[in-house]
Structure 1
């Protein structure tokens, strides 16, 4: 049996026996067809089942390399390899065709997407003007304090919303804030005077200033839900034409990226963000490199 006939039989099995959706069957058929097309060119003739069983690790790596040369990313190649592995598992069960090299082939690792930071102007606009989303003075003060803190100190949204009134850094007090991050790991972060002033302004509207009360409250007097904060920023970015990646977490990315651009060292940024590993913080080096390359491309006479 030739490989194409086996592919058609596999797709029929996938559709009728496994009851896969038409879109899934189409995707598997396309991915496996591309693999078999490459092997036909690579081997000089359409492979039969014996040829598929005899494919070497070099033959398989050549296919992945060819896909990379066509501009397919690691995530796409990993998905294609998964489809091919499913095809070979079916071949082993239904036709006795075994090829251990397919299972042993290393899966391309998808790269983590680069953090998307806002520009300094955009981040400042969020921190300073987010209150314009609401007509309520108390909510305006609360949102300004919250988003100023996210950008000014690089907090995760969950970390900021977990704060209590007793944690609030105020003007004239210690400019440091104790934060409990992931894994209950504690870190100390500095708080800018503008942020402390914004928090003080919000506390003047706060209905319950007992030390154990949540610092940021929702409409019902309970701890503010992160979904509410996300919706507020979503509305603000639509009103002000900010990009879709303008989210609460993007302010944390912006905090780190802007510090790096201003000359801060990675180790200090790691401590401020509460990253357990420096490799996590090093992602911001890539972000800054991308920004510099974009400036170069736009401004260099030969860009």
Structure 2
């Protein structure tokens, strides 16, 4: 599915600075500075800059020169450019614009709040790997790749979080993994099991750098993986194994298989680093067989019969 920036580049490409819209640009710059002051991550700042830069350029193209001229109609027109994009993409763009407009109102750039209906996210089953598929991937892995895949599936960490890990962050005796400055700049604890620790220990013996502050997963030169580099490695493994997956799919695999194996939702939420339980629920991919088995155990009618209250 094509991205709206490719469909309508004349509308969404960042335009050159326009003196007439200095008030609009100043208000946007103030918002970005506020996010920096809040110590948002580089990724978050880049996302705000990209999305809202396109929004500001589009507003300038509509003749806007100051924040107080922006209305809900302008927001709806801009979001309409994303009508062919994934619903999650459109929702994310709308969320960033909403954050900007709320900031403008609090700071006095907008005399009245600008409110609009958020685009709905179409619910769909997100991809994850079954236990059999995980094993199929492991069968084509070298030592480093095996340790990496097992680590991702066993810990549920995000791609960036894995790239940030140092050797000292993992206790190979207990399996405790210290995640520093995860999403939202929050520290938390994750865990890996004995099988993953053994694979990790075997890999670490072969690493170019053995220092405590060395990257946990290293390139051939001993440097840390970048998120893009890690993604490329997993893409090659995916093609080799004939199993489509990404780092995020392995994170969902952790969530789904952990729940199947009896982990409670609150513990799962804590390990994943989610701020609310609803986010965790969206990660869990119920299998049809799980639903059938759950109903067999909890069927209201069958349990009535078992209690001696048969239906007539």
TM-score of Structure 1 vs Structure 2, range by shorter chain: 0.5 to 0.7
State the alpha-carbon separation in 1 of the partners of residues 255 and 287 from structure 2. Answer: 14
Q: Would you say 1:158 and 2:160 are equivalent positions?
A: yes
What's 2:144 paired with? 142
Q: Summarize the Cα distance change of 1:234–1:260 in structure 2 as closer, same or farther, 3 Å threshold.
A: same
Q: Summarize the Cα distance change of 1:281–1:290 in structure 2 as closer, same or farther, 3 Å threshold.
A: farther
Contact persistence 1:114–1:283 (CA under 8 A): no
State the alpha-carbon separation in 2 of the partners of residues 207 and 247 from structure 1. Answer: 26
SS in 2 for 1:177: strand
Superposed CA deviations along residues 181-221 of structure 1, whole A, max 9, x for unmatched, are 21221111221111111111111111111111112111332
Return the match for 1:288 from 286, 289, 292: 286
Q: Determine which structure has more spread, i.e. the larger CA radius of gyration.
A: 1
Contact persistence 1:169–1:177 (CA under 8 A): yes
Contact persistence 1:141–1:201 (CA under 8 A): yes
What's 2:175 paired with? 175
Superposed CA deviations along residues 94-144 of structure 1, whole A, max 9, x for unmatched, are xxxxxxxxx998465223554321111112333x3352xxxxxxxx32222
Summarize the alignment of residues 1-303 of structure 1 with structure 2, pairs less than 5 Å apart: 75=87, 106=117, 108-111=119-122, 113-126=124-137, 128-131=138-141, 140-170=142-172, 173-180=173-180, 181-243=182-244, 246-285=245-284, 287-288=285-286, 292=290
Q: Unpaired segments of 5 or more residues in structure 2?
A: 1-9, 12-85, 92-113, 295-312
Q: Summarize the Cα distance change of 1:237–1:295 in structure 2 as closer, same or farther, 3 Å threshold.
A: farther
Q: Unpaired segments of 5 or more residues in structure 1?
A: 1-18, 21-73, 80-102, 132-139, 297-303
State the alpha-carbon separation in 2 of the partners of residues 155 and 251 from structure 1. Answer: 9
State the alpha-carbon separation in 2 of the partners of residues 168 and 264 from structure 1. Answer: 22
Superposed CA deviations along residues 211-262 of structure 1, whole A, max 9, x for unmatched, are 111121113321112223222222222222213xx11111110010111122
State the alpha-carbon separation in 1 of the partners of residues 121 and 200 from structure 2. Answer: 41
State the alpha-carbon separation in 1 of the partners of residues 177 and 251 from structure 2. Answer: 16
State the alpha-carbon separation in 2 of the partners of residues 288 and 117 from structure 1. Answer: 10
Aligned residue pairs, count: 191
SS in 1 for 2:286: helix
CA RMSD of aligned residues (A): 3.5
Q: Summarize the Cα distance change of 1:114–1:166 in structure 2 as closer, same or farther, 3 Å threshold.
A: same
State the alpha-carbon separation in 2 of the partners of residues 105 and 168 from structure 1. Answer: 46
Q: Summarize the Cα distance change of 1:122–1:289 in structure 2 as closer, same or farther, 3 Å threshold.
A: closer
State the alpha-carbon separation in 1 of the partners of residues 187 and 281 from structure 2. Answer: 21
State the alpha-carbon separation in 1 of the partners of residues 130 and 292 from structure 2. Answer: 13
Q: Could you tell me how far 1:168 is from its partner in structure 2? A: 3.1
What's 1:12 paired with? none
